Amino acid sequence: MEILKTDILIIGSGIAGLSLALKLRDLGEITILTKKRVFDTTTILAQGGIACVMDEEDSFDLHIRDTLLAGNGLCDPEIVELVVKSAPERIRDLIEWGVEFDRDPANFSKFHLTLEGGHSRKRILHVGDYTGRIIENKLIERVLENSNIQISENHLAVKLIPEKEVGLSGPPKRVVGAYVLDLTHIKERVFLSKVVILCTGGAGKVYIYTSNPDTATGDGIALAYEIGCKIANLEFIQFHPTCLYHPKAKNFLISETLRGEGAVLLNAEGKPFMHKYDPIRKELAPRDVVTRAIDMELKKTGAECVYLDISKLPSDYLRKRFPYIYETCLKYGIDITNQPIPVVPAAHYLCGGILTNKWGQTNISNLFAIGECACTGLHGANRLASNSLLEALCFSHQASLKIKEMWPILKESLYQIPPLKEFQIKEVAEEKVFISHNWDWVRKLMWDFAGIVRNLKMLELAKKRIDFIKRELETYWSGFYLDLDVMELKNICTVAELILISAMRRLESRGTHYLTDYPYKREEFQKMTVISKF
């Protein structure tokens, strides 16, 4: 078994992992592991932009208020203030790394700001409608300029290595690296490091309909849970209201900025309906409100989709403002300049995750989690639009400060590795139909039983079925396999189980968690749902 040493191990290559690597590039050797190609991330799909107070008519207090309102009583006010007030500095970081945000055509000295649901002011900076793609590409360019930052593609981390074997007494005090599958050369590797940072993104692939890329299988959450990290608020899955509905469109998101620019939602009869669910905010209500409204319209009418109409705006403006959406929809025969776009909700963002403090630290001292895989307290029960890229940038900065503070001690620590008894790699069996079948079964089960609207009976039935699949996996597919599908199935089963347990514990409806048995908020549940293995 090949054993490699590095000073800092970052697992994940989205905005969180890449920006952190740049912040820490002077400390020592940095290794970034990514299970596919470096740009196969959720970041690259982010269309809308980044929320930041940049206008004289806006204020930090308003952005804080909007975030707290969206979070429905579960945001950590200290964290919200930290993120909102640090936003201008993090935007400056991106500009220094080469990101050129769109400017206001009427005043080129100012950025062009747009509006999204839940925001009381225009404060979304963007690069056309492909902001994430530009950010990801610029960060990759900067990382590749640093010889001490190594990127290992097609490397899947399958187990974190504790300093000492984990027992009933609780999680280890620290980790010393990770067991990794090199999926290119079909072999196992061990990466030893002084500090480990999980930047693995979300878990949208737990659901059959999602805006997320294929990489979003909750890997970091599964890794952290198995070693003893606390996991919080996994019941809060944000479903994006508007994903393109077309048999050939796998997971294409129709950005919320269209509604910010005036797009109207129409039912199957071509009539607006959001006024019935939120008379004041209508299409600009928070995502949980809009998603449930669409879900109710679909169930009432039996229609397969609703429609988003922005054709009232000038066609030249639409082609310039939304080039990515325009070109993609046109590829599927939909001209957004004169046709409404068929849309449906889809699993989009995980508001909970690995519980961290304001430095991105987990309850294991040298293990950090940043980005969508983390639960920082910013989002509460529902994420405010375009706060996600901002959160990743803020906490990569926060983590860099803490790691630099700890470095005098960390750099003197010895690389250690416990006996490798559990890390026995197996070849892939021929009967992979079991894996593909259960992939589909788990994801459809979660969509039908633990989706936009839930009830306790369905959650309990889903939990029993997930338990059955996990037992089958343990019986027939135990251990580690040099196969991405097998290992990802194990991870989505773990995350699905944690989502179900969390949802059954929260006996109320709040934010993205809507439980028909308890359709209102309850004061006794104004707290995090926390799960740990030990």
**What SS3 state is found at 319?**
helix
Determine how many CB atoms are found less than 10 A away from the CB of residue 353: 31
Residue 93 CA to residue 68 CA, distance in Å, equals 25
The alpha carbon of residue 168 and the mean position of all alpha carbons in its chain are separated, in whole angstroms, by: 31
Q: CA of 326: how far to CAs of 18, 181, 186, 266, 323, in Å?
A: 29, 39, 41, 19, 5
Residue 35 CA to residue 182 CA, distance in Å, equals 9
Determine how many CB atoms are found less than 10 A away from the CB of residue 93: 15
Residue 369 CA to residue 355 CA, distance in Å, equals 8
Residue 196 CA to residue 219 CA, distance in Å, equals 14
The helix (H) or strand (E) run that includes residue 468 is: helix 456-476
Catalytic residue among 287, 321, 454, 506: 287
- Listed in sequence order, the residues at least 6 apart from 482 whose beta carbon sits closer than 8 Å to its beta carbon are 181, 183, 186, 187, 188, 425, 426, 427, 428
- In eight-state DSSP terms, residue 276 is G
- The answer to whether residue 287 is catalytic is yes
In 178-272, where does DSSP find H-type helix?
A: 219-227, 257-260
Nearest to 94 by CA among 46, 30, 49, 139: 139
The answer to whether the CB of 101 falls within 8 A of the CB of 111 is yes
Please identify every residue annotated as catalytic. 287
